[in-house]
């Protein structure tokens, strides 16, 4: 993706300088994008993650909060909506209708109370537009999103809770 195309995706207010802000950011080695890729787009995802109180796998009679899926708006650095993020499967969709799904490659712990860092390998884009050429997505700059603090008991089975979160999604393309 070239800068002109990205600007049409993200809006004129997206500054070219912001395209590389996270490229130099220190992230855990496990979520670093392989050499030969460049930052194609930076977004700020703001939304909620849904959890459901369900039976714990391989633990009869026990329950736990289980991740159900995200629902977030993707904004450029000026706060203008440029897409959405939802799932499952994890899907990033640009305002032009192009979208990608991906496969998680790695996670790394972030600070307490926040989702982990994440690296996703993008599948080929569906539709023509801003998501064409995206090869990886990093989740960084995390705020919130972990399973609810509220108890999950056998009596709560089936109960759903939504937890607010924010994360930067950095989209990468081959050079």
Instruction: Read off the pLDDT of residues 8-21 as tens digits, 9 standing for 90 and up.
Output: 333 333 333 333 44
Helix or strand or coil: residue 20?
helix
What is the share, in percent, of the chain residues with pLDDT greater than 90? 79
pTM over 0.75: yes
What's the whole-number mean pLDDT along residues 136-147?
Answer: 96
The kind and range of the H/E element at 7 are helix 3-10
Rounded distance between C-alpha atoms, residue 148 and residue 65, angstroms = 7
| SS percent in the chain: helix, strand, coil, step 5 | 10, 50, 40
What's the whole-number mean pLDDT along residues 49-77?
Answer: 94
The closest alpha carbon to 148, from 167, 164, 163, belongs to 163
The closest alpha carbon to 169, from 66, 39, 68, belongs to 39
The predicted pLDDT at position 7 comes to 35
The predicted pLDDT at position 6 comes to 37
Question: What pairs with residue 93 in β-bridges?
Answer: 84, 99
């Amino acid at each position: 993706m070239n800068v002109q195309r990205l600007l049409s995706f993200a809006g004129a207010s997206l500054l070219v300088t912001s395209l590389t802000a996270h490229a130099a950011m220190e992230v855990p080695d496990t979520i670093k994008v392989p050499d030969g890729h460049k930052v194609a787009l930076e977004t700020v995802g703001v939304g909620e993650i849904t959890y459901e109180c369900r039976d714990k796998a391989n633990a009869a009679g026990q329950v736990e909060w289980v991740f159900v899926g995200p629902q977030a708006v993707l904004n450029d650095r000026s706060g203008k909506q440029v897409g959405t993020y939802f799932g499952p499967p994890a899907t990033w969709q640009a305002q032009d209708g192009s979208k990608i799904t991906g496969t998680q490659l790695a996670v790394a712990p972030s600070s307490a109370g926040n989702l982990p860092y994440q690296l996703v390998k993008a599948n080929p884009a569906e539709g023509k537009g801003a998501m064409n050429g995206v090869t990886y997505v990093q989740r960084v700059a995390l705020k919130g999103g972990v399973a609810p603090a509220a108890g999950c008991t056998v009596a709560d089975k089936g109960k759903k809770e939504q937890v607010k979160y924010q994360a930067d999604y950095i989209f990468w393309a081959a050079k």
